[in-house]
Amino acid sequence: MAGDVILEAKGLTKEFRGFVAVKDVDLQVRRGTIHALIGPNGAGKTTCFNLLTKFLTPTRGRITFNGHDITHAKPADIARMGLVRSFQISAVFPHLTVLENVRIALQRKRGASFDFWRSERVLDSFNERAIELIDAVGLSDYVHAVAVELPYGRKRALEIATTLALDPEMMLLDEPMAGMGHEDIDRIAALIKKVSVNRTVLMVEHNLSVVANLSDTITVLTRGQVLAEGDYASISKNPEVQQAYMGSGDA
């Protein structure tokens, strides 16, 4: 059913000076699902992700979001359409407080904030909603902490709170669990599950086991191409996927 697809890429290709990083990728993300894009190092996951979020422009191919062609849209524009991304390196505003971080996103509801003559006290009306979001990601004790002082896992939680503040229809998470310990992975996984209610999530991950219990659909990329797609059970049994992950020993 075509109406069921929220984000679709067709024949997505990105070449860097002759090197093909992403080749002819077709991707359909169904509304309300958690979709994982996985693959070994250098498979083109991040390139693919940057193409979908418009931080890169594809060499060929077409991307549609909710039926609108966004192939040539700007990153800020698609964020306004409800397609919001996170970054591999945790993307917080380091020298602002946790509250201020979340408020920057909430402030978007005012439209453009060009009013330099008005006191920032007008932003206090967002505090209530900001604190709700901060509570939701388990950062209640850190409301006035400066973001740079948070431990890594908490920074990611803050980033998710900031992304949620935009109430996006679809969230794109770039390796949300990269560089985390086990407790943090479990906490962020639970958080992603929690925030995915009424939303679509597309996440890029390196590690297959991390996304096992989390995603409805998994797409495996290798060498810039789609190798396999399906749920965890079918993907994990796929011999080609196993080989891609074990290395190309006897290929």
Our CA dihedral for 56, 57, 59, 63, rounded to 10 degrees, sits at 110
Report residue 243 CA to chain centroid gap.
27
Closer residue to another protein, CB minimum distance, 72 or 110? 110
For residue 182, the minimal CB distance to another protein (Å) is 27
Q: What does the binding site for another protein look like in residue numbers (CB under 8 A)?
A: 53, 55, 74-77, 79-80, 84-87, 91-96, 99-100, 103-105, 107-108, 110, 112-125, 127-128, 130-132, 143-144, 162, 166
Q: The tokens of 67 are what?
A: 């039926």
Closer residue to another protein, CB minimum distance, 128 or 183? 128
Tell me how far apart the alpha carbons of residues 84 and 98 are, in angstroms, rounded to a whole number.
Answer: 19
Closer residue to another protein, CB minimum distance, 28 or 88? 88
For residue 91, the minimal CB distance to another protein (Å) is 4
For residue 157, the minimal CB distance to another protein (Å) is 15
For residue 138, the minimal CB distance to another protein (Å) is 16
- Sheet of strand 34-38, all strands in order from the earlier edge strand to the far edge: 83-85, 170-174, 200-205, 34-38, 217-222, 225-230
For residue 108, the minimal CB distance to another protein (Å) is 5
Q: The tokens of 197 are what?
A: 């209610």
Q: The tokens of 19 are what?
A: 């090197």
Question: Strand 170-174 vs strand 83-85: parallel, antiparallel, or unpaired?
Answer: parallel
Closer residue to another protein, CB minimum distance, 119 or 198? 119
Return the closest-CA partner of residue 219 out of 19, 58, 12.
12
Closer residue to another protein, CB minimum distance, 19 or 114? 114
For residue 74, the minimal CB distance to another protein (Å) is 8
Closer residue to another protein, CB minimum distance, 72 or 80? 80
Tell me how far apart the alpha carbons of residues 87 and 91 are, in angstroms, rounded to a whole number.
Answer: 6
Q: Please state the length of the chain.
A: 251
Tell me how far apart the alpha carbons of residues 155 and 150 are, in angstroms, rounded to a whole number.
Answer: 6
Return the closest-CA partner of residue 229 out of 22, 10, 26.
26
Closer residue to another protein, CB minimum distance, 175 or 229? 175
For residue 109, the minimal CB distance to another protein (Å) is 10
Our CA dihedral for 133, 138, 140, 141, rounded to 10 degrees, sits at -150
